[in-house]
């Protein structure tokens, strides 16, 4: 049998006439060369740069989880300075109110300054916010409160600012095969940041200023790590910086960082990028608001706004913020810090394999499975008082809800925001969408206590379960499948008003099945 497999020279000779192998790559032939951008050197460069960009996003997760671990020491009335309960609610929620501003600012900075400079900006704002927390006054309540409010405001702006740039950067430097796993790095970093702050809170329970100093040191390191990141070739081409764009594309395809492109594969990719961007610019669409009339802009915008709306109305942030309170009210006794750590770990562990699952299942299937599971979890929480014979049912339902939401409904809007928008509006459209999503998060989180008092926890969970079911229908009917599509193919799908044809890889999979 071994003699039936041609050697490398014989295999190459089969295609010396310049014709393209039909589906050789799908037969996993040992001598079929990988595309340049999918070879190990290129993949390592793409992955390392995305990891560096996402280090700053970890700080956002730390900021989100901070109120959970600081409520007790900050409101301790035996201390010389402390926050009242009313002041602490502002400390816990002001970041969500400020986050939409960061989302809008993100769109402007992404287009005007570039992806790398926007990542610089979010790291600088994050550094200032942690310094304000660490140096908060130990003698004057009013001064401390002002410093903490300024810190949380900047945390919110940084949160909004961070939701798009690294994802957009990841989408633009990567090849379709690994684009999903790189874009997902942002969600993994947020989850990791939340878990890290929960662990810090578990070990440092009384000195929240020390936590601030630790986070400040971490933010300094993340800021310095951005220095070696090359700018996205897409943005450089759009600004006419062609030499820098060639250097960047060469680097991300595993070649030397030169101002000239000699490899035919990279040259073809560069020419396609340049043509597409010039075509978009030639259509004379300087105004973002005028661009909203185009189907390739308003369709993904409406789809993502719908996804963010369902994401929040299903109660995802409510469960994350009030998980300990909900468990206690259900009669489960557990160290709240340990409970927080377990929730953070559950979300982090679930996020890590998401890139594989989204490539294996596709975006639509992951969303449908996620929404269906969330519906079941909410119904279980609603009827848990009638199922007391099942031990730890509330904890099981809450953790399962977090796991299942991470599998799709929570992750997909942030994931697909980097895929659906065309190049010429990607920055501002992403910023607008993120701003809407974060405003919805603030609204849902703030209204839950009043909603609970008005109709009770059980009926709140029923509402969230119904919305989760509606989200499943929305994903099935509306959400496009972007698995293994290039960004240009995705844009054409909306522009041409027809579904995409299956890729060659997908056709071969169908044939094999």
Give the SS3 label for residue 87: helix
End position of a domain, from candidates 229, 247, 266:
229
| Contact (CB, 8 A) for 97 and 91 | no
pLDDT of 1 reads 40
Q: Which residue has the tokens 């469960």?
A: 319
49-93 residue pLDDT tens: 999 999 999 998 899 888 888 888 998 999 999 999 788 878 888
CA distances 388 to 33, 325, 385, 392, Å, are 59, 18, 6, 9
Q: Of 106-120, 136-150, 257-271, 422-436, where does mean pLDDT reach its minimum?
A: 422-436
Same domain for 482 and 371, yes or no, is: yes
Same domain for 343 and 407, yes or no, is: yes
Tokens at 93, concatenated: 């929620």
Backbone angles phi, psi at 346, to 5 degrees: -60, -45
Domain count, the chain: 3
Q: Residue 272: which domain range?
A: 232-279
Domain membership flag for residue 52: yes
- pLDDT of residue 10 exceeding 50, the answer is no
- pLDDT of residue 217 exceeding 60, the answer is yes
Same domain for 381 and 462, yes or no, is: yes
Same domain for 203 and 236, yes or no, is: no
Name the pTM for this structure. 0.74
| Contact (CB, 8 A) for 169 and 248 | no
Same domain for 308 and 397, yes or no, is: yes
Question: How far apart, in whole angstroms, are the C-alpha atoms of residue 147 and residue 71?
Answer: 16
Mean pLDDT of 216-244: 93
Same domain for 341 and 489, yes or no, is: yes
One-letter-per-residue 3-state SS of 405-461? HHCCCCCHHHHHHHHHCCHHHHHHHHHHHHHHHHHHHHHHHHHHHHHHHHHCHHHHH
User: pLDDT category, 443, cuts 50, 70, 90?
Assistant: confident
End position of a domain, from candidates 213, 229, 245:
229
Same domain for 299 and 275, yes or no, is: no
Q: Which residue has the tokens 């980097």?
A: 418
Q: Which residue has the tokens 């509606």?
A: 470
Domain membership flag for residue 298: yes
HSE-up (13 A, CA, CB side) for residue 256: 4
Give Cβ neighbours of residue 353 (< 8 Å, ≥ 6 apart): none
Domain membership flag for residue 426: yes
Tokens at 16, concatenated: 């010396």
Same domain for 134 and 169, yes or no, is: yes
274-310 residue pLDDT tens: 887 766 655 555 567 777 778 888 888 999 999 988 9
| Contact (CB, 8 A) for 373 and 469 | no
Domain membership flag for residue 511: no
């Amino acid at each position: 049998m071994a003699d039936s497999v041609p050697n490398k020279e014989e295999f190459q000779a089969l295609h010396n006439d310049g014709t393209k192998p039909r589906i050789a790559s799908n037969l996993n032939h040992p001598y079929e060369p990988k595309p340049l951008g999918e070879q190990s050197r290129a993949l390592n460069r793409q992955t390392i740069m995305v990891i560096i960009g996402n280090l700053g996003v970890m700080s956002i997760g730390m900021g989100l989880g901070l109120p959970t671990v600081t409520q007790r020491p900050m409101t301790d009335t035996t201390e010389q300075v402390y926050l009242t309960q009313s002041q602490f609610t502002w400390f816990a929620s002001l970041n969500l109110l400020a986050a939409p501003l960061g989302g809008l600012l993100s769109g402007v900075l992404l287009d005007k300054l570039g992806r790398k400079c926007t990542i610089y900006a979010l790291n600088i704002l994050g550094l200032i916010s942690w310094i304000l927390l660490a140096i908060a006054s130990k003698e004057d309540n009013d001064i401390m409160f002002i410093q903490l409010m300024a810190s949380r405001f900047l945390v919110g702006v940084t949160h909004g600012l961070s939701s798009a740039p690294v994802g957009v950067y990841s989408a633009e430097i990567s090849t379709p095969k690994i684009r999903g796993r790189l874009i997902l790095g942002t969600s993994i970093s947020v989850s990791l940041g939340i878990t890290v702050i929960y662990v810090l809170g578990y070990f440092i329970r009384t000195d929240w200023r020390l936590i601030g100093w630790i986070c400040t040191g971490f933010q300094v390191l993340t800021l310095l790590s951005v220095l070696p990141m090359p700018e996205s070739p897409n943005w450089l081409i759009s600004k006419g910086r062609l030499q820098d764009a060639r250097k960047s594309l060469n680097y991300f395809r595993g070649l030397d960082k030169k101002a000239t492109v000699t490899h035919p594969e990279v040259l073809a990719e560069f020419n396609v990028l340049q043509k597409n961007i010039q075509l978009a610019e030639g259509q004379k669409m300087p105004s973002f608001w005028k661009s909203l009339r185009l189907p390739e802009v308003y369709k993904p915008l409406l789809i993502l706004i719908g996804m963010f709306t369902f994401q929040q109305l299903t109660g995802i942030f409510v469960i994350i913020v009030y998980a300990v309170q909900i468990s206690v009210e259900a009669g489960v006794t557990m160290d709240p810090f340990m409970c927080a750590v377990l929730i953070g770990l559950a979300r982090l562990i679930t996020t890590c394999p998401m890139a594989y699952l989204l490539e294996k299942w596709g975006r639509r299937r992951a969303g449908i499975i996620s929404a269906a599971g969330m519906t079941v979890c909410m119904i279980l929480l609603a009827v848990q008082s009638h199922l007391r014979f099942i031990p730890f049912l509330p904890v099981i339902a809450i953790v399962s809800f977090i796991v299942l939401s991470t599998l799709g409904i929570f992750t997909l809007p942030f994931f697909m925001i980097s895929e659906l928008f065309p190049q010429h509006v990607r920055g501002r459209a992403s910023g607008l969408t993120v701003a809407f999503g974060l405003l919805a998060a603030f609204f849902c989180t703030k209204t839950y206590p009043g909603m609970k008092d008005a109709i009770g926890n059980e009926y709140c969970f029923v509402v969230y379960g119904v919305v989760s079911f509606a989200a499943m229908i929305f994903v099935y009917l509306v959400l496009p499948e972007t698995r293994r599509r290039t960004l240009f193919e995705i844009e054409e799908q909306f522009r041409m008003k027809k579904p995409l044809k299956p890729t060659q890889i997908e056709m071969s999979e169908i044939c094999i099945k």
